[in-house]
Amino acid sequence: MLSEMTSSLGAPIMSGALGQPSMLVDLAGKLAPMASLVLYMAPLPTIQKITKEQDVGDLPLLPYSSMAVSGFLWTTYGVLKSQVSVWSPNATGMLLAIFYSIQFARFAPAAAPTLPGSLNQHRDGALIIGSTALLAAAAHSTELVGFMCVGICLALFGSPLAALKTVLTSKSAESIPLPLSLATTVNCFLWTVVGLFDMHDMNVIIPNGIGFILGMVQLCLKYIYGDRPAKLVPEVSIPEAFMMEKNQLLEQTFAFVGPASLQGDEGEIPVPEQLSQEERNQGLVRRDNNQGQAFRHRVGLV
């Protein structure tokens, strides 16, 4: 039903808006497979950098593991649908993505929040999804394979956002790979046009339409934050903050040198020589209490 609606509505919209729909759709159809190859090759500079530095930093593994699974699923779907333009670029992309994943895993921690999860979870998930797709293909269940393609495509196109929390807290988009995000945006736009006006296939339209939006979000974050160094904000608890300011106040209060000194929790503090020991003790306690009370008011403890 959705495919019929897409087929009936697509041509009038293109005709009215662009005047020569067939030429533009044909152009998108020719560019889309090439865009898929560009998408699969986009992570190559990032992988070369990882190999050179032997460190993955805060980069996630999800873009590469999901790319390998996506390439396998779309290859299977293209074969079942007899669509050469679908299976041929994805078969090549699957092999490239497997290479990326292996190289990434060489220098990645066994588990990290930015991966996300662990290396074993990515491997096991890929095996389970691949096995399920093979069983569905053996049963000629094209719709099930298509449904799986939609799900894994969304994971692939949104995978750079796995480090979204890191981007927002550090004010740095270094964890979002620009080549992959840019290639994703262009690739998804072209396949959305092809799926909507040529193939009339919702399994192509839905993931690529959403992928285009996610790609734009990634590019916007990259533009806003760039690759500036991450801003690390130290976390200081209320007791630690109180002790820090307490010590600063004491240093300011007794910022002079005298022969006498007072032994306290913070060590020896110089005090006026003309004061008696009792007066010095009382003065220190009084100043400490007054300043501590003022600080507690400022931080809302009292």
CB 232 within 8 A of CB 213: no
- pLDDT category of residue 151 using cuts at 50, 70 and 90: confident
**Cis bond leading into 116, ω under 30°?**
yes
Confidence of residue 290 (pLDDT cuts 50, 70, 90): low
Q: Note the maximum CA span of the chain.
A: 99
- In tens, the pLDDT along 229-286 reads 655 444 444 455 445 555 555 455 444 444 444 444 445 445 444 555 555 555 554 5
In the structure encoding, which two tokens stand for residue 122, read together?
Answer: 């990515």
Q: Mind giving me the DSSP string for 75-130?
A: HHHHHHHT-HHHHHHHHHHHHHHHHHHHHHHHHS-SB-TTS-SBHHHHHHHHHHHH
Residue 56 near residue 104 (C-beta atoms within 8 A): yes
| DSSP class of 227 | T
* Global pTM value: 0.59
The per-residue pLDDT for 134 is: 92
**Average pLDDT of the residues in 24-40:** 87
Q: Where in the chain are the domains?
A: 23-168
Residues 6+ apart with CB under 8 A from 93: 36, 37, 39, 40, 67, 70, 71
Exposure of 150 by Cβ count < 10 A (0-12 exposed, 13-18 middle, 19+ buried)?
A: middle
Which CATH class name applies to 23-168? mainly alpha
